[in-house]
Structure 1
Amino acid sequence: MSRLIVVSNRVAVPQAGRAKAAGGLAVAINSALRERGGVWFGWSGHVSETPSLTPEVTTSNNIDYCVTDLSPDDLQEYYHGFANRVLWPLMHYRVDLAEFSRADLSGYMRVNEEFAEHVSRFLKPDDVVWIHDYHLMPLAKFLRERGHRNKIGFFLHIPFPSLEIIQALPHHLEVSAALTQYDLVGVQTENDRENLARYFALLGGREIDGDHLFEFPDRQVRIGAFPVGIETEVFARCARRISRSSFVKEVRESMSGRSLVIGVDRLDYSKGIPERMDAFERFLAANEDWHNRVTYLQITPKSRSEVQEYADMEHQINAKTGQVNGDYGEAIWTPIRYINRSYSRTALAGLYRMADVGLVTPLRDGMNLVAKEYVAAQDPADPGVLILSQFAGAAFELGDGALLVNPHEAEAVAAALKRALEMPLDERRRRHAGMMKIVEENDIHRWAARFLSALSAGDASRQPASLAKKAGSRGGSDASSGGGVSRHISFPAA
């Protein structure tokens, strides 16, 4: 089996005395790398005035974790600048928030080229390369320029926007058009895949088999929809275990028999938290009989507080929380509990399990794994109800079981809250069972196996086109098992 080289913006390097990565992408990557042997390369998370030309390598469980520092200019231009103040808002349809500068674009391309230079030093001809997310879209271009003909795949974890939006990206022919240098480009949903297909056609790509295989002058590129999953079995088991803990018991006692609505989101304008609070206020205004019978818990760790847009949003949410609690609260009841701190995945699993409603209403999201975690955490005998934005990638898989809403329509979200809180047990069980089947079958390990199988085979058509829509047509080839290969990694002297 070919060695696997993974490149991402950040690397989950194992550290003595610290718990292993808790979930998500790190779980899938570590599992694939342990099976095949290989390297995980990316930014260390540290900033240095003079980054070393030789990355730091940590070897553990058949994996070389290889990291490099960024310079202060790299951090500002590549990461804070172009990646997070241009690509992030634009890919989430917030063109109005994109702040383009030539210096930031130059830094973004420079760091991608430096990453390519590092990877080139240890890349072998038969290695398979898997590159992740919007930070590194041009990376394959720089690897190809260095003569590498390896199979290189790319997975975009955030949405790929419509043709009109992506063309609003300044110098898009240097950035997003570089996706034509991959053998396989994976996206979250069929909608993302269709958007990318239209963009490839604009770039002159010719679809040659009617199944999203595009021919360009120097290569053929396959586009595939590979919706990301979670560690379903592990998360469900964790939720069952923590539900008996003193932490969950104390939270439950503090509810005094009231129903619980929960939202868990990083502080970001794409998550729709202010709109969600408006909807909860509309619900309280229209349903006086629910006063003092329901509490909305919003857990929102702060994010990018140094960016003005995020600071403004934090102020807006704090003000809205105070206004709603002031207008509707009582001495014995606080309608909204708003918390700006992180909880462990274990603690969140327990909170999800006890919540009657999971409120997941982003304005735009690539997938949103909170929706899948909420489903996995439920007690099948007495499950809660998922209210889900139609603009979350998870809606393509869970739409038959969740209550789908337009997060911009406060009255509709308020009506969905009432319906969810009053939904009969039989309907709750039926809806949950359908969603749980999907979440179990398309877990994080199946996702990684399907992508790597398609990349290694050069045939993304192995994945069923309707996976993201109907549970009955999910499937795909699992990667075969195999032993590792030589672990030694070397770099030429700086």
Structure 2
Amino acid sequence: MARLVVVSNRVPVPKARGTAAGGLAVALKDLLTPGAMWFGWSGRLTANPSPQPAIVEARGVTYATVDLTPDAYRGFYVGFANGALWPLLHFRLGLMHFRREDYEGYLSVNQSFAASLAPMLQGDDTVWAHDYHLIPFARLLRKQGFGGRLGFFLHVPFVPPSMIEAMPVARELVADLCAYDLVGFQTEEHARDFRDCAQRMLGATVEGEWIRLAGRRVRAFADPIGIDAQAFAQDAARAEGDKEVLRVAESLSSRALAIGVDRLDYSKGLPHRFEAFGRLIEKHPEHKRRIHFLQICPRSREEVDEYRKLRTELDRLAGRINGRFSEFDWTPLRYSTRGAPRSTLAGLYRLGRIGVVTPLRDGMNLVAKEFVAAQSDEDPGVLVLSQFAGAAQDLTEALIVNPFDPDAIADAMHVALTMPLSERQERHAVLKEKVLRTTAEAYCRRFIDALEAPAVARAA
């Protein structure tokens, strides 16, 4: 079997005492068997980075990382990846800031990644690149002489031609994605939008999932990511004894808990969610003093202006809601920008009567699946889920809402709070079966099997 080489923006290098596993590390753990390699940025900024990757071996897996200069980081990561691509791919054109020099910095970092990795590759390696930071990577790695299989998975949404055309380098981005042998998306809608872009912008021929362009074929397909739901359910049950979880449970004083867990990001619909909770108490006063809403949203990308503005807005909304509705012994909205260990989150989800997952756009949103997995079968909570999260394509037994409508979210929360136990159990049983079936392991195996299939050939 060919060696697997994973390439991503950041590499979670294991530390001596263990390291907190991010979403991608958790998803790929079954593929990272002895002999595999993971390559990418170390997370360090240095004035004179070495072109030679730093190597760490752990459990038979090679972790190879390179440093970036501060200027490279600003252009590649802050400027183009998160200042232009992220808002574009989340349908927020008004927040897209394109600067030609940032795009050049983005290409330069991808070029340095390709140049650093190429000498380490073997001819029969299978290379799997991840996410919007690495769109040009395949083309640049090919220029270094690599002839093996190259796959790419986009963890965030993709947009239709009418929207991506607002990006001045849209044609180059679509053409670069076509340099891969296989491109995976979270939903069929995103895959179809990409195929439409290749056809409309590049003149490619599309036949089902296949794109034919310039004597090559590339397959664009949907491969929804999942979680290890069985393990997460076990973590949630064990975490009932976690000190943090016990403190939250005691503080509820038998009140219901609505919970949201998101990175602090404008794509997550947090202001709409806060407003919805205020509307719930206003429209349905019978829930006053009978529910707490806990929103956990760790800070991120604080060097980007929009993220700082978002935090200020959430501070204002939380203060307004609590100032209007709180009483001496009841603060309705709890809002924390501190992160929490994955095991603690599992226990907090299990406490939740309502899981509120209402992003304005999301590739998948694994919080929705984690909330379902964490619930007890005997007395499960209810998932309120945005129609624009990729998870909504499968988790149809959730209460599906338009995240731009605070009143619709409030009404769904009211339905969740008043739903009979029998209906909660019926919905949960179907959702849990789906989450157990669409696992992280199944996601990885589908992608690698498709990438290594004989039909995936670069020659048409």
Whether the TM-score (by the shorter chain) exceeds 0.5 is yes
Equivalent-residue separation in structure 2 for 1:302 and 1:28 (angstroms) = 23
SS state of the match for residue 230, structure 2? helix
Which residue pairs with 1:486 in the alignment?
A: none
Report the AA paired with residue 410 of structure 1. P
Equivalent residue in structure 1 for 2:316, among 319, 324, 339: 319
Equivalent-residue separation in structure 1 for 2:41 and 2:19 (angstroms) = 18
The alignment status of 1:274 with 2:290, answered yes or no, reads no
Equivalent-residue separation in structure 2 for 1:79 and 1:307 (angstroms) = 10
% identical equivalent positions: 47
Which residue pairs with 1:205 in the alignment?
A: 204
Equivalent residue in structure 1 for 2:236, among 218, 239, 261: 239
Which residue pairs with 1:390 in the alignment?
A: 387
The Cα of 1:296 is off from its aligned counterpart by 0.7
The alignment status of 1:121 with 2:102, answered yes or no, reads no
Which residue pairs with 1:374 in the alignment?
A: 371
The alignment status of 1:344 with 2:341, answered yes or no, reads yes
Matching of residues 78-477 of structure 1 within 5 Å: 78-202=76-200, 203-208=202-207, 211-399=208-396, 401-459=397-455
Q: Residues 105-163 of structure 1, C-alpha deviation per residue, up to 9 Å, x if partnerless?
A: 00000111111111211111111110000000000011122332211000000000111
TM-score, normalised relative to structure 1: 0.90
SS state of the match for residue 173, structure 1? helix
Sort the Cα spacing of 1:187 and 1:417 in 2 relative to 1 into closer, same or farther, 3 A.
same
Equivalent-residue separation in structure 1 for 2:26 and 2:285 (angstroms) = 45
Equivalent-residue separation in structure 1 for 2:29 and 2:215 (angstroms) = 32
Equivalent-residue separation in structure 2 for 1:152 and 1:24 (angstroms) = 22
SS state of the match for residue 407, structure 1? coil
Equivalent-residue separation in structure 2 for 1:131 and 1:143 (angstroms) = 11
Q: Residues 322-380 of structure 1, C-alpha deviation per residue, up to 9 Å, x if partnerless?
A: 11111111111111011110111111111100110000000001111110100000001
Equivalent-residue separation in structure 2 for 1:112 and 1:330 (angstroms) = 54
Which residue pairs with 1:2 in the alignment?
A: 2
Equivalent-residue separation in structure 2 for 1:338 and 1:178 (angstroms) = 41
Report the AA paired with residue 372 of structure 1. K
Equivalent-residue separation in structure 1 for 2:188 and 2:158 (angstroms) = 10
The Cα of 1:12 is off from its aligned counterpart by 1.1
Equivalent-residue separation in structure 1 for 2:198 and 2:434 (angstroms) = 30
Which residue pairs with 2:57 in the alignment?
A: 59
Equivalent-residue separation in structure 2 for 1:154 and 1:192 (angstroms) = 14
Report the AA paired with residue 31 of structure 2. A
Structure 2 contact 130–154 (Cα < 8 Å) conserved = yes
Which residue pairs with 1:488 in the alignment?
A: none
Q: Residues 407-439 of structure 1, C-alpha deviation per residue, up to 9 Å, x if partnerless?
A: 111111111010000101111111111111111
Structure 2 contact 242–344 (Cα < 8 Å) conserved = no
SS state of the match for residue 394, structure 1? helix
Equivalent-residue separation in structure 2 for 1:273 and 1:321 (angstroms) = 11
Equivalent-residue separation in structure 2 for 1:60 and 1:308 (angstroms) = 38
SS state of the match for residue 58, structure 1? strand
Equivalent-residue separation in structure 2 for 1:232 and 1:22 (angstroms) = 16
Equivalent-residue separation in structure 2 for 1:322 and 1:53 (angstroms) = 49
Structure 2 contact 27–227 (Cα < 8 Å) conserved = no
Structure 2 contact 78–304 (Cα < 8 Å) conserved = no
Q: Residues 41-98 of structure 1, C-alpha deviation per residue, up to 9 Å, x if partnerless?
A: 1000001101101110111222111000001111000011100100001100111111
Equivalent-residue separation in structure 2 for 1:274 and 1:226 (angstroms) = 30
Unaligned runs of 5+ in 1: 461-494
SS state of the match for residue 211, structure 2? strand
Which residue pairs with 2:40 in the alignment?
A: 42
Equivalent-residue separation in structure 2 for 1:246 and 1:146 (angstroms) = 52
Equivalent-residue separation in structure 2 for 1:201 and 1:230 (angstroms) = 33
Report the AA paired with residue 373 of structure 2. A
The Cα of 1:21 is off from its aligned counterpart by 4.2
Q: Residues 179-210 of structure 1, C-alpha deviation per residue, up to 9 Å, x if partnerless?
A: 111110000001101111101112222123xx
Structure 2 contact 27–226 (Cα < 8 Å) conserved = no
Report the AA paired with residue 12 of structure 2. A
The Cα of 1:458 is off from its aligned counterpart by 4.5
SS state of the match for residue 217, structure 2? strand
How many residues are matched?
Answer: 455
Structure 1 contact 284–290 (Cα < 8 Å) conserved = yes
The alignment status of 1:32 with 2:31, answered yes or no, reads yes
Equivalent-residue separation in structure 1 for 2:206 and 2:108 (angstroms) = 32
Equivalent-residue separation in structure 2 for 1:459 and 1:27 (angstroms) = 29
Report the AA paired with residue 24 of structure 2. L
Report the AA paired with residue 444 of structure 1. A
Equivalent-residue separation in structure 1 for 2:183 and 2:366 (angstroms) = 21
Unaligned runs of 5+ in 2: none
Equivalent-residue separation in structure 2 for 1:165 and 1:180 (angstroms) = 19
